[in-house]
Structure formats: structure tokens, C-alpha cells
Structure 1
Amino acid sequence: MRPATAALAATLLVTGLVTAPGNAFAASGNADYAEAAREFGVPEPVLLGVAYLGSRWDSHAGSPSRAGGYGPMHLTDAVPAEPGEHHDAEDPRGDPSRPLGVDGHADPAAGRPGTLARAAELTDQDPARLRTDRRENIRGGAALLASLRGDAGEDLGSWYAAVARYSGADDDATARRFADDVYEVVRDGATRVTDTGDTTTLAAHPDVRPDTAALDALGLPQPRAGAECPARLGCEWVPAPYENYDPTDPGAYGNHDQADRPNDLSIDYIVIHDTETSYEQTLELVQDPTYVSWHYTIRSRDGHVAQHVENSDVAWHAGNWFVNSHAIGIEHEGYAAQGSWYTEAMYRNSARLVRYLADRYDVPLDRAHILGHDNVPGTTPGTVAGMHWDPGPYWDWSHYFDLLGAPLPTWGAPHSGVVTPNPDFATNRPRFTGCESAGVDCPSRGSTSLLLHTEPAGDAPLVADVGLRPDGSPSTRAVSDIGARIDAGQRFAVAERRDGWTAIWYLGQKSWFRTPEPRHGRPSGPALVVTPKPGLAQVPVYGRAYPEQAAYAGTGAPPQSVLPLQYAMPAGQRYVVGDVDPPVDYYFAQTWDGPHVVVSGQDRYHQVFLGHRVAYVRAADVDLSLVW
């Protein structure tokens, strides 16, 4: 009954459609690229390809990327590490029977030098202007690229080594991957309406032949071997420590648990995180045995990948021990709330890694199995409020699944009983607050999130989330408040349609969102849904699929409680099933020297899209049906 893994297709180049938000970067078309290319002797297709890998030609109104890169050319400033909320509230191990205390971040690491200052020097411009002026930003990128040209001439392929150096990658494999992606864009061509409302076009050059041998002369080192990654991605092995740091206490060990996955525990989820600090400090933290762990980290500026925990082992990252036991965690350099954006290089390499992992472990490429950290449920009522909300509403789920080769479905037929939200990232700009100061509106930015109201009206209160606000008060527009928010690719049963609004069943409530204009794409199709069995006023929902008490007999593992969350599924409501038959087990691993025991149960659960976070219901409590 588990969905088959989607076929892994080639990377897609997506055409966006946006409305110019009105900012200092406003400009049109290819004119600035053509002018800068002529001025500095850089082939325009190469300049456009480099800009695409940084920003997809967007300007982001002068706000920095996750790596402190500015403008279409992603010119990087020195980046101070600014610790965020990561792992400071929740218990990242997520096993209340073995709670893990984490004191927070280490002292911030120093910033790294960037390319913006060098570009400003080459163009004799104030660095501040290169951050906020589109034309000067493109000129700066062209000047920087020209300064790296070496023996490059008029032939497009002769710029391969210069493009690789522009990435800032400090190893050969990552530099090659960046340059290969640039030349893929040059070869295939692309056109896109950017966030300034102009159409930028790169004509296809199918006959381009990059001089890849030119990179050999640079003598860049190879990444540290040992990582589990697809070929040519350029992953390095930076191991997290598994060690007992207090010989008097066998429970004082870190920072992950050894296992034999997928032989003893299936791998069913891949969890997308952001780091809330710099790449450099992230690596420092994951190598601390008293801290926590995740499997991979991806750097923003060039998409470089480091692995820390073997996929056979269980890392401590998601805040839910059941999910951790069955998940691979991937951290992406960046911040969920700040006015920053993910680079195309990061998106592409992340998608390559996830495709590889999904194929290797048979993980379906859908939003029930490729989870944001913000989709992971709390384990018990007491842990719900402390769960995290990264990667946040500014992660482009639709574009990410395009790159995965598994495009998200469209909304479905006008009278369908199921909806799959998939708003256009660029034009969908919900109002959020608190990105920089509490209660203050965030800058207008693209998002694949939609807000839910109690009535079909924009001024109606947002729906409540009793897990976050036990008093039942409405959710807010705070960027960290996921209580009334759905994201692209999640699936919900329709409760009602009225005058351009759609109501869905969400956290036990009828919840309304304004129905966006339909987009072209793959049809949504039918879905399995669950409803409470006849005679039940409501059924409980759970944050983990743990075995029944009898399953623990003779295992040596203490029985774990099967405790419902504070939510419920009332009679008459329907919820879409994400996984009809997830594993039912508990992994007992609480001391340095063992034992490590997997307890498997006979009870059955269904994973459902309950709210912004997924949840589990007992199969014995609900009926399954197919809805079109």
C-alpha cells in the first residue's frame, strides 16, 4: 500500500510569473547583462548562467541570501554567524523517556571573507551600492568573473575554470558541480519572469563544450572521502562523534545513536532543516559530542555537502524519536525568518542528494515523506509547543520538487473532494510579521504557504491551534506561528467551497483559504482519506506510531506510553492519508554500552495530514475510503 518511489527525472528549469514589488533593483530584461558583458569582456551567456545558479536572476530587493550574497550575481559579504532558534527549545532527540538537555549554541564563529568587496574594488563602486543597485551588482559580478578569466577567450567553453572559481568552492568536486550546472543552463537555455517583473532570457547553446580540463590546473583538493552521496556531487565526510564524555554516566554520550538501518529500522522520511547559523559554525556544533547531530549539511554559496552521521545510524535532529528513528536529517545553511533566500546551487545539490537517498531507501517523493522540520509532530502534548518551524514559509517547496523530478500536483478539479495547495511562489506573498522585530511586518516575499481563516473572509480570525495556544485563541501572522498555515504539496479533504474560497478539514476545524488561480501541471488525482468509525464522536491522534504495551514483553525495553496529542478527529470530518501503513516500533537506545533493541508491534496506524504537521491515527479507529 506504500506509494512507489517516483521516477527520478532530469532537473527542470522552471518559468516563474511574478509581479514587480517595486524596489531599487527594478530594471528590465537582459540589458544590464549585455552591457556588463561588453564592458568587461565576459560572454553574456556565461554571465547569465552564473547569475542563474546564484539567484535565478532574482534581485530580492537588496536582501542577502543565506550565505550573505546580494543581488542577481550573488556577491557575498563577510558573514557573521548569528545564532538563531535552532535546537534551543525542543529536545532534538525527541524521546521523553531519555530527555536530552542542550544548552544552546557555542560562541559565534568568525565571518568569512566574501566577493562583494573585491567586486566593488574592481568597479570603483561603494559596496553598499552593489548590494542594492541591480545594474551595479551585475557589473560587479562581470568584473569579478573577468578577473578570474585566466586564458579564457571568446569561446564559451573556455570560461569553465573561471566559473568554477567564481563559486567560491574550496574543493575540486564542488567547484566542478557548480560549473557543470552553469553550463547545463547555458546549453539548455532558460527564460524567467524575475522578482522585478522583467523577463530575462538565456538562449540555448546546445553545442557548447566546456573546457573541464582547465580546472585541473588550479589544483583544488578533493573533499574528505567517506560520504554516502551520489557521484560527482562533491560530498565530504566530517564525522559527528559517538563517544562517552563522562565515564561515570553511561547515558552521557553523544551525539547520535548507532543502529543498522534499514535492516533493523526502515528509512521512511527525509527531514529538511535550516541551520540558523553559518555553515562554519554548524560544522563546529555537529562535531561537539555534548551537542546534537544530523546526517548532512549543505552550504549556501556553492551547494557543498558534508555528511556527519552514517545513514545506518540515528541522528538527533527532528525533536521526535519515532521520526528520528526512521529519518535522514539534512541541514541547509540559513535562517527561517530573516530576510534571506536560498541559492539555486543549494536547492539543486539538495535535490540531487534527496533523489539519491530516496532511490536508495525507497522513500516516496511526496510531502508525506519529504518533510520540513515544521511538519514533524510533537511526541506528547507537552512537547507540541516547543517543536520547531524551519525551514519556514520562504522555502520554495514547489521549485524543490521540480528539481527532485517529482513536480507537485495542481489544485485538482473545481469540484474535487481533495486539494493539494500549490500557489505560485513569486506572486503568493502572505503578510507575516516578526522576521526582524516582533509584531512588525516582514518584507513582502514569495512563499508557498497559505493562511487559514475561520470564515471565508480576509479579515476573519485565523484558525486556532490548541497545541500552540491551549486557551483556543486565534493563530497569528507571526512568521514562527504555523498554527494556521498550509504549504505546497500537503493534501487536505475539502469541507466546502464558496465564492472563491475553499474550506478544508484542519486540526478538527473547518478552515478557509482564498482559492488561488489554478496553475498548469500534473493533476492532483484521488486520495485515500480516513474518517472516524461509525458510533465514535471523535478519535485521538498521535505524534508517533508506538507499539501496544504487550509488544515490550521479554524485550528488555521499558514499555512506552501511547499518549494522544491534544488534537482530535471529530465524526464527519475527513483527513488525507500520507502513508497508509507506516512502521510501528520503538527503538530502545539510551546508554553508551547498550542494549539497542527494536520493539515491533502488531497495532496499525495511518499517517495523515492533520494540520501543518502530520500525525498518526490508529487504523482500528477509522475507516478508509477513496475520494476524487
Structure 2
Amino acid sequence: MLFPAWPCAPRRAAFQMTALVLAGVSWCGTLRTGAHEPGDPAHARQKAFRAAAMTYGVPEDLLLAVSYLESRWDANRGVPSVTGGYGPMHITDARTALRGEPPPVPAGPALQRVDEAARLTGLPGERLIGDPDANVLGGAALLAAYQRELGRPPTSDPAAWYGAVARYAGTDAGPCFADEVFAVLRTGAARVTDDGQRVTLPPARELPRVPEQNGEGRTVECPRGVACEWLPAPYQRLPGGKYGNHDLADRPRDQGIDYIVIHDTEATYAQTLKLVADPAYVSWHYTIRSADGHIAQHVRTKDVAWHAGNWYVNARSIGIEHEGFLAKAGAWYTEAMYRSSARLVRYLAKRFDIPLDRAHILGHDNVPGTVPSAVAGMHVDPGPYWDWAHYFDLLGHPVRATGGRDAGLVTIRTDYARHRPRYTGCGGAGEDCPPHGSASVRLHTAPSRDAPLVRDIGRKPSGEATYDVYDHGARATTGQRFAVAERRGDWTAIWYLGRLAWFHNPAARPTAVNTEGFLVTPRRGLDEVPVYGRAYPEPGAYPGDVPVQDVTPLQYAFPRGQRYAVGRATRGEYYHSTTLDPGNHRVVRGRAVYFQIQFGHRIAFVKAADVRVLRSDAAAAR
């Protein structure tokens, strides 16, 4: 429902209206809140949107949609996003958030909107960024100001606010930001926020479609409806006979693309663009900006970027960097970036026939080391705060149960907003991180929170596993599938890194769902099965001019009686590319078959000759 500006009192100064709204009183008396009781604290955020919309003559549903795209209505505990935005309306305050660090986008008013919001509302900046209700009011004031500057009246028709919404993005990608806001208006949304607020945006019944701003006929490889530009990574000869920073190929004609790897930048957008422009650095295919979901493409999808730390995965994947930090002061990922990323991944998955599951859509932290010495140094982004459940909802493939009560597989699925396990190390070593939703469950050696954590011998050959946010050796994450070993009360045991691992999975608040699929277990006669970090061909497959690549087992194995979820089957393959001249590049294919398994937090490979394949329901019946 749309609400016009208040009709029952004369105009007042902005600061007088603000004071009344924040006090919970309308000009006409007690604030009217619709279906919910005025004193219901769980709907305070919904009331704040209604009051702000009425105060500044902004359509309430439009204000809700803008805020949803910025923050999904979350307060984020007063912590800024990576772009220096605060609160449900993502009002930016670079002075406070960045503390002298380089800005994430070129300097300009969009990074310091709190000053403009303070002028419009009469509220101090610290309240606008620290008080969610004041933040919503500031966002409404900004939208109303942009509408006036465009010479448009404060109409109740959301479609008439398109230009103001585009300006709210604060970047050159404003039209695409506005397109996404109107997409939210059409579909509607409802959720409980990170601080327990129930907010609802009903779908719009009659909202005209705004023409999308971009098409697929551009030089960049991006879907319609997103802002995308071509900022190429250099491909040139370097001193010492080296070259960088990627390899030319002809995918998918010469080799398939099986994976999309999700990274975070651990740097600002501006810093990230400088890195990808360095010919001596590594490369990736796309970078997505936090403020508005703007996409920059650097490497053609047909070519191989150097992004995952595993050459086998590099040769068969597309790498996407997201502006953000795994743990820096709890900085959060914007909804605009999540949605733009999901659009891109859906487009790429359809184009290259990549299944939308966690066996093919990997985090950088799921990519295995290639040899034992490489395991400890593998990256751990995007980490436990990336909301995989929400991401797969946006991809149109939500994580759901597919098996019965006694299924032989479980898929991790936490209630992200309410699941807040302890992590340390976001600030100083050993210091507790701020409470934050997480997609990961903790794994113990016994069904007790007091039991030690499972230890990953590849990451920590000695010593105990820790709660450090960068130590993922005892974690399983939403979307990952594991074979069930045992169930005991509120605890479930899975096979993990060659041993039993327990996680808390109470029926009242489950952290996993039962699923079906295929498993592998050692074939008869084998006491244990080695696992590998890459699926390379057998020695006899290599031609004389291509050096044979060793197939080296990792420091792990799993014994008879254990089972692991199968993600895909593949024949061994190696992309030989050691010179600048693509005419010398070769793809070597073998006959040996491998199964990809979810072995620990990372995937791994086993030789088909070493294992038997079982259906999960058959395994559960044993």
C-alpha cells in the first residue's frame, strides 16, 4: 500500500518532523502502524519505514525496496559495509568507516552521504549511522531531495521515482541499481532481520517494467540488466622469459568449464583494479563492486585466469572477486553485490552448462591444494560470513531436503541470521569477533560442545584446531554434502578428513537437511583410499613434447568403512601452457576416471579404480 505525505498539519521544519517521528508520534497523534500493535517491538523497523515515508512523501514500498537492495533491512550492529555504508539505508560515512584508508571508489559525495542526510533531517551524523530508525529517516530524506532536484513531485507512484533511485546508488551504475530495486518491488520480500525485526514488502500488482539498461551485445560477457565494463588484465612478456597474468585458451571448445569460484578481494575495489592491471600479478575474470553491484570483466571466459591456486581448477573455472573482507571488523556484503553476482553466475552457468550446486559453485576456501606442501597456504575466502543459503536462493536453486529422516547424506544449511557461532581473530589475535550470522557449523571430535575441534592435519600438522575465523579446518558450510556416520540426539556425525566429525543439529533448530545422492567407499580389498588435489591424466596419456605431471596424493586418506559424497565424475585432464604463444598450448586428456568428493571443508579427488559407488539410501540401510 502507498502512503502520501501527511495531510493533517501544516509544513514544519525538517528537524521538527524528525523529532516527532523518532519519538513514535505522528502529526495527527499516535503513529498508525497497520496490522501490528503499536507496541510490538518485533515490528519497530516496519514502523520506522512507514513513518519515514510519510514524513518525506516517499512511497513506503519504494523506500523498503531501496533498503532491501542495500542491506536486506539489517542494522549490521552499527558496523559499516566495505564501502563505508551504515544501517538499513546504507548511508555512507567514509570518515568514520575508513579511518584514513583509501576509499573503495573514487572520492566524491557518494562516500559521505551522512553529511547531506544530517542537513536534511537536522539529526547528528553519529545518530544517522548508529540508530536504525534515524538511518531509515535519513535515507527517505535523501530520496526526497533527489526527487526535488530532478524537478519531480513527491508522487505516490513508485515508477515516477526511477531517477531518484538511480541517484541513490551514488555511482555511474545508478540505472542498473534502480532496475534491481524495481525487480524487488515486483517480487516483494519478507524476512526477519539480523536484530529480530519482522519486515514485509508485498509484491507490487501494477508496476510498469522499466527497460533494462544493458544488453548481451556488448564487448563484455555479462547478462542483461547489470552494469558491466571491460577492464582487461594485461597479457605480455615479462623479464626472465616469464609472462602474465593469464593464459589464452579456447574454452569450452578445447576444454570444459566446470566451476565458478567465489572470492572476496580483501581489498577495496580501487585497490583490486590496480592489482589486476599488474602484469606480474595474478588474474581473475570478474570483479564486483560492493556499493552497487557494478561488474568489471578482466579476462575472457574462454581464457584461463590465475586465481584459485590450483592449476587444474584454474583451467576449468571462472573466478569472480567480490569487494569485501573475510573478517575485517565485521564489514558486510551488500545485497546489491549479492544480487549482481547471482545474475552473473546464473548467466555463466546457463551458458557453460554448469550445475548450480556446491560441487560446482565453489568458494576459494573449497579449492584443494595440489600437493601436500601447498595445503597449508591455500586461501580461506570468502569465509564463514558469506551467506551461501541466500546466494543459492538468488540463484534459483535453494538448499532443500531431498531425503527422508534416515537419509545417508546431509547437506549443511544454517539459519544464517540466528546461527552465530563464536569466531576469534577479526581484530587482534584471539579476540572474539562481533556476533554475526554464519553459514558454517563447527565440527567436534565427540557429540559435545566441550569436545575438541576436529584437526585438519594439512593446515595444522601439530597443535589443536582453533576458533580463529581464518582456521576453517573444523567447519562444514551451507550447501556442502556429507555422508552420515551416526546420529545421537541433537548431534549428527559425518565422515570428514578421514575421521568422524560431530556437529550440533537439533530438531528444533536444524543446521542441516537430509538429502540423497551418491557416495564412494573403498573398494573391496583396499584398507584405505588416497585422495588428490587435482585430477591429472595417467602417464601414458602425455605426448612426447609435454612433461608428465605427477599425480601426488595429499597427506590424507580414508579407511575402509568410511563414505564421502560424490560431486562429479571426470576423466583426467591437464592444460599445458608455459609460453606466451598460445600455439604451443596443449590439452592432455587421459582415460583414468576420478570422482570429486566433499572430503573436508575443501573438495578432493579419488580414483574411480580405488572406490565403489553407492546410493545414499542404500548406504543408510546398512
TM-score of the two chains, using structure 2 as the length reference = 0.87
2: CA distance, partners of 1:434 / 1:479: 6
CA deviation after TM superposition for structure 1 residue 169, in Å = 2.7
Q: What amino acid is aligned across from residue 139 of structure 2 in structure 1?
A: G
TM-score of the two chains, using structure 1 as the length reference = 0.86
CA deviation after TM superposition for structure 1 residue 592, in Å = 1.8
The question of 1:428 aligning with 2:419 is answered yes
Q: What amino acid is aligned across from residue 87 of structure 2 in structure 1?
A: G
Could you give the per-residue CA deviations for residues 463-510 of structure 1, whole angstroms, max 9, x where no partner exists? 010001112x33111000010000011110111111210000000010
2: CA distance, partners of 1:222 / 1:625: 45
Instruction: Pick one of 286, 289, 301 that aligns with 2:279.
Output: 289
Q: Is the 8 A contact 1:452 1:462 kept in 2?
A: yes
Counterparts of 1:31-180 in structure 2 under 5 Å? 31-78=47-94, 113-149=111-147, 150=150, 151-154=152-155, 155-170=157-172, 174-180=173-179
Q: Is the 8 A contact 1:29 1:201 kept in 2?
A: no
Could you give the per-residue CA deviations for residues 582-613 of structure 1, whole angstroms, max 9, x where no partner exists? 24111111122352111111111100000000
Q: SS at the partner of 1:600?
A: strand
Q: Structure 1 pair 280/295, CA: closer, same or farther in 2 (3 Å)?
A: same
Q: What amino acid is aligned across from residue 137 of structure 1 in structure 2?
A: N
1: CA distance, partners of 2:294 / 2:218: 14
1: CA distance, partners of 2:428 / 2:493: 32
Q: Is the 8 A contact 1:531 1:573 kept in 2?
A: yes
Q: Is the 8 A contact 1:528 1:626 kept in 2?
A: yes
2: CA distance, partners of 1:586 / 1:31: 59
Match of 1:415 in 2: 406
Q: SS at the partner of 2:574?
A: strand
Whichever of the two has the greater Rg, that structure is 2
Q: Is the 8 A contact 1:83 1:108 kept in 2?
A: no
Deviates more, 1:473-482 or 1:350-359: 473-482
2: CA distance, partners of 1:333 / 1:111: 17
The question of 1:332 aligning with 2:322 is answered yes
Q: Is the 8 A contact 1:542 1:565 kept in 2?
A: yes
CA deviation after TM superposition for structure 1 residue 250, in Å = 2.5
Q: SS at the partner of 1:267?
A: coil
2: CA distance, partners of 1:569 / 1:133: 52
Q: Is the 8 A contact 1:411 1:518 kept in 2?
A: no
Could you give the per-residue CA deviations for residues 138-188 of structure 1, whole angstroms, max 9, x where no partner exists? 111111111110214312211011011101231xxx423221221222233
Q: SS at the partner of 2:615?
A: strand
Instruction: Pick one of 593, 599, 616 that aligns with 2:581.
Output: 593
Q: How many residue pairs were aligned?
A: 568
Could you give the per-residue CA deviations for residues 367-400 of structure 1, whole angstroms, max 9, x where no partner exists? 0000000000000000000000100101110110
Structure with the larger helix share: 2
Instruction: Pick one of 236, 249, 254 that aligns with 1:243.
Output: 236
Q: SS at the partner of 1:364?
A: coil
Deviates more, 1:331-340 or 1:150-159: 150-159
2: CA distance, partners of 1:107 / 1:383: 34
CA deviation after TM superposition for structure 1 residue 549, in Å = 1.3
Q: What amino acid is aligned across from residue 601 of structure 2 in structure 1?
A: H
Match of 1:228 in 2: 221
2: CA distance, partners of 1:307 / 1:127: 36
CA deviation after TM superposition for structure 1 residue 81, in Å = 7.6
CA deviation after TM superposition for structure 1 residue 30, in Å = 1.5
Q: SS at the partner of 1:598?
A: strand
1: CA distance, partners of 2:100 / 2:119: 31
Counterparts of 1:245-324 in structure 2 under 5 Å? 245-246=238-239, 249-251=240-242, 253-324=243-314
Q: Which structure is richer in relative contact order (CA contacts within 8 A, separation 6 or more)?
A: 1
CA deviation after TM superposition for structure 1 residue 108, in Å = 9.5
Instruction: Give the unaligned 5+ runs of structure 2.
Output: 1-40, 618-622
Q: Structure 1 pair 518/420, CA: closer, same or farther in 2 (3 Å)?
A: farther
Q: What amino acid is aligned across from residue 159 of structure 1 in structure 2?
A: W
The question of 1:195 aligning with 2:194 is answered yes
2: CA distance, partners of 1:82 / 1:337: 17
Q: Is the 8 A contact 1:410 1:422 kept in 2?
A: no
RMSD, matched Cα: 2.6
Match of 1:539 in 2: 529
Match of 1:552 in 2: 542
